[in-house]
Structure 1
């Protein structure tokens, strides 16, 4: 697959249904999520203005860390969002937003595969902290077919310790 061709996203996402807690099952390495982080989750809440409050939590060195940001849909499909974790007054700066594209989504909104169009970022998310191997394999195969290199994929441990 050409690096210039954008990965396909799902046709439509009901953002209200997408809200709530998602647990990170796997990800590609990134600087803002250290490899030794555990219990990574994202909590999404739809705001009155249609934007989404994003609360990412992780456990690292026995401490819970949280980053709060905001996402907004870039089109009517709801499957392509931009996220910023800058302080509220600086979120208008365009080059500081990250792409959050929903590449695959279970019909019951229980599993989501999210990536970026440059294929540098990828997350496999589930409503539960554990995901059966068949489902995991299915979604990761979808990512590979879309051109994501999974050789450095990190499977996120969940220790059952609270992050709230």
Structure 2
């Protein structure tokens, strides 16, 4: 009986913590993503990084559409410096039906899927912001390893407007001549 009460209290506290974390409204995805056009290389320009990418240099996300409609993803980067060890992480993006292809569940480790929301996509598919309702991670990416300061500032203004803590944003070092 004591275990059940403890478990119930823990669940109540967890639900309460989640409610507090979700005071902001859900991130609004873009209306539609043309998946074939979205595929290819995306250079990470700025991020609130996961633990895997805290010291990433020359970070590059590559998307490949699979025959079943899922998206094969591979994340390449140098760890700690431009000469650091090259690392790679593979995952699968599972497109959520009825979202205009703008919301995915990204699975790095089975059975867990991380939320992936295309929150901003430039009309010419040259820049994107990938967000999460929890505001714990965000990725500002472009088709080129560098973007103008004006574009950088405009994209970060969009991230700020979504309710992200700007003090956690990390500009990802990109050295175009050394990008892989």
* Residue 14 (structure 2) pairs with residue 16 (structure 1): no
What TM-score comes out, normalization by structure 2 length?
0.81
- The Cα offsets for residues 12-42 of structure 1, whole Å up to 9 and x where unpaired, read as 11111100000000001321212x2200000
Q: Secondary structure at the match of 1:151?
A: helix
Consecutive unaligned residues in structure 1, runs of 5 or more: none
Distance of aligned partners of 1:162 and 1:143 in 2 relative to their CA distance in 1, 3 Å threshold: closer
Per chain length, whose mean CA-contact separation is higher, i.e. which structure has more relative contact order (CA < 8 Å, sep 6+)?
Answer: 1
Distance in 1, matches of 2:64 and 2:35, equals 9
1:120 corresponds in structure 2 to 136
Q: Secondary structure at the match of 2:117?
A: strand
1:47 corresponds in structure 2 to 66
Q: Secondary structure at the match of 2:106?
A: strand
Q: 1:71 pairs with 93, 96, 101, which one?
A: 93
Q: 1:147 pairs with 151, 163, 168, which one?
A: 163
Give, in angstroms, the shift of residue 75 of structure 1.
2.6
Counting only pairs closer than 5 Å after superposition, residues 82-93 of structure 1 correspond to structure 2 as 82-86=105-109, 91=110, 93=111
Consecutive unaligned residues in structure 2, runs of 5 or more: 1-21
Give, in angstroms, the shift of residue 161 of structure 1.
1.7
Q: 1:7 pairs with 27, 40, 48, which one?
A: 27
Give, in angstroms, the shift of residue 4 of structure 1.
4.3
Q: Secondary structure at the match of 1:158?
A: coil
Question: How many pairs does the alignment contain?
Answer: 154
What TM-score comes out, normalization by structure 1 length?
0.89
RMSD: 1.3
Distance in 2, matches of 1:127 and 1:162, equals 12
